[in-house]
Amino acid sequence: MSKDGVMLKENERIDDLERNGYHIIQDPGRFCFGMDAVLLSGFARVKDGARVLDLGTGTGIIPILLEAKTGAAHLTGLEIQPDSADMARRSVRLNGLEEKIDIVTGDIKEAGERFEAASFDVITCNPPYMIGRHGLKNPEDAKAVARHEILCTLEDVIMQTAKLLKPGGSFFMVHRPFRLAEIMVVLRENKLEPKRMQLVYPFVDKEPNMVLIEARRGGRPRLTVEKPLIVYQESGEYMPEIYDIYGY
């Protein structure tokens, strides 16, 4: 099956991103992007003319959303799983963004060798949240790779980011609050100073289940904690801020 000259493989579908008329190809059997990626695209601050790298881009959701929302000059997505990278490239082509977005197949652990040092203004990452392989039946499964630190660790992501960010450049990441202390330590060990943080709560009376973090290469110590982001109202409807981020 093809749409606008872009071939779809078995079990793939095209989803409307509600931004600039853009769409994305996804395979529910492998992995579909979640709210965390969308919230990260809303949290990231990208100046006009910036060069952006998304580590572990999956199906390319973050570069595509950032292209729609910002004045970035160029965006690159790095993805180790060939099938996901291929899906991301076809989504880029589907949206006519070949001149703005590159999808590179490769390992985050080798990003420092693949790209020029200190060459990006902004780096984003929605990394695997869970430590190790505990309880995994199939560690090679695409969903497992996306959720568990099988192919890269938090340290890998942050060490490579430190190599590739320009001095004064910004790193934006979404993660889980239970690893917040570890995240802050590893960032500072790599001279990435935490500058902004926002906790995301599913409901106002629940514990936070996500944290959005901005760190700056060589930044001065001063952390701003932004007001909490609440996802759902009591009725189960999104809060107005969430609709704004999604662009509905």
Whether this model's pTM surpasses 0.85? yes
d(CA 170, CA 76) in angstroms, rounded, equals 15
- CA 56 from centroid of its chain's CA atoms: 7
List pLDDT tens digits, range 180-203: 999 999 999 999 999 999 999 999
Summarize pLDDT for 10-54 with one digit per residue, the tens. Answer: 888 999 998 889 999 998 887 788 899 999 999 999 999 999 999
- Domains annotated on the chain, with CATH: 2-246 (3.40.50.150)
Half-sphere exposure of 83 (CA within 13 A, CB side): 16
Task: Please give the Cα distance from 127 to 90 (Å, whole number).
Answer: 22
Query: How far apart, in whole angstroms, are the C-alpha atoms of residue 115 and residue 220?
Result: 26
Q: Write the pLDDT tens digit of every residue in 141-171.
A: 555 444 544 567 899 999 999 999 999 999 9
Maximal CA-CA distance, the chain: 53
